[in-house]
Amino acid sequence: MKTIYSAIQPSGIMTLGNYIGAVNNWQSMQANADNKCIFALADLHTITVRQKPEDLFNNSMSFYALLMAVGLDVKKSVIYMQSHVRQHSELAWLLNCYTYVGEMSRMTQFKDKSAKHSDNINMGLMDYPVLMAADILLYDADLVPVGYDQLQHIEITRDIALRVNNIYGDIFKVPEGFIPKVGAKIMSLQDPESKMSKSDPNPNAVISCLDAPEVIMKKFKRAVTDSDTVIAYDPENKAGISNLLRILAVAENKSVEQAEKECSGLRYGDLKVRVGESVVEMLRPFRSEYDRLIADKAYLLKCAKEGAEKASEIAEKTLKRFRDAIGFVPRQG
């Protein structure tokens, strides 16, 4: 039995990139009976960048519904909100005392985000990877599916876990990060050299999983390609066309080679329409399930509560192991 752990920040929109590259893969991991899956909304991470309270609230409800709409099932997996499980904040503090300022200040994401939010370089922004280490280590995770940009945080999680284990013996399971193969690289529709990002200011660059069908079609029709006319999978020289082929392959559940073969005779405009239509079809059942769930807030909250209870139970055991090893006097009763 393998424990799989991952999380997503409930901020902005859930993009087609998140859907294909992350949560849809979570769903297939859940389908494997050898896996025990734990998925969180990383709402504590979200406040490293200032959030309007009503946005944080609405996005958290929306992302919880989105995860369930993808097919994540609260009966099979643990699905919860990070802020509901206090052990995350507590372990993050403990781990802080085993983490060096130097290593945090060298993290790529910290440097990028400090440049982007230079008016609010708060401690949380720097401490982000330690909280992420706490998330993962609390659940004795074996495998952590993430995107490329998060691999450095998994490395530091491993370093911290090994450091603690070297001092106190076997406290933490040392996790492995991995990048799911399917849909790993869904790129911006306007700049296919860079990743499709939920914070992209250009709305044409990004498909939201909740975009209306006509909006999806419009965005694909405007997708940036190249000045050639040949449809071929060649990420280096034809980033735009290759991105469309990768998306098509996932939407039509076939290999990229097969998608390339089927589309080789099409004009660029026809390829864009085909990709758009397939994505609309892929998202249709998801969209209607989302609409149903988001209308039932009481049900979502009940699921989140049960998820948090299951998560806390696991997290508390790990936290206690570490607290005792450090030498804190156990609270009686």
- Active-site positions read 113, 195, 198
| CB closer to ligand TRP, 5 vs 233 | 5
Instruction: Tell me which stretch binds ligand TRP (CB under 6 A): 128-136, 160-168, 187-195, 249-257.
Output: 128-136
| CB closer to ligand TRP, 43 vs 260 | 43
Tokens of 171: 């406290």
Contact track, ligand TRP, 81-120, x by CB under 6 A? ----------------------------------------
Q: Which of residues 145-164 bind ligand TRP (CB under 6 A)?
A: 146, 150
Query: Counting contacts by CB under 6 A, is residue 127 touching ligand TRP?
Result: no
User: Applying CB under 6 A, which of residues 7, 66, 186, 231 lies at the interface with ligand TRP?
Assistant: 7
The three-state secondary structure class of 296 is: coil
How many residues bind to ligand TRP according to rule CB under 6 A? Answer: 13
Please give the span between the terminal C-alpha atoms of the chain, in angstroms, as a whole number. 33
Query: Counting contacts by CB under 6 A, is residue 77 touching ligand TRP?
Result: no
- Which residues neighbour 130 within 8 Å (Cβ) at sequence distance 6 or greater? 92, 95, 96, 99, 104, 160
CB atoms within 10 A of CB 296: 12
Residue 289 backbone dihedrals phi, psi, to 5 degrees: -65, -40
Q: Which of residues 12-71 bind ligand TRP (CB under 6 A)?
A: 42, 45
Query: Counting contacts by CB under 6 A, is residue 144 touching ligand TRP?
Result: yes
Gap between the Cα atoms of 169 and 158, Å rounded? 15
The angle subtended at Cα 170 by Cα 168 and Cα 173, nearest 5°, is 130
User: Applying CB under 6 A, which of residues 37, 65, 132, 209 lies at the interface with ligand TRP?
Assistant: 132
Instruction: Tell me which stretch binds ligand TRP (CB under 6 A): 7-15, 178-186, 206-214, 272-280.
Output: 7-15
- Minimum distance between the CB of residue 5 and ligand TRP, rounded to whole angstroms? 6
Residue 163 backbone dihedrals phi, psi, to 5 degrees: -60, -45
Helices (H), the chain: 16-18, 24-31, 43-46, 53-70, 87-96, 101-105, 108-116, 123-138, 151-168, 213-221, 239-251, 256-263, 268-294, 297-326
Would you tell me which residues interact with ligand TRP (CB under 6 A)?
5-9, 42, 45, 132, 135-136, 144, 146, 150
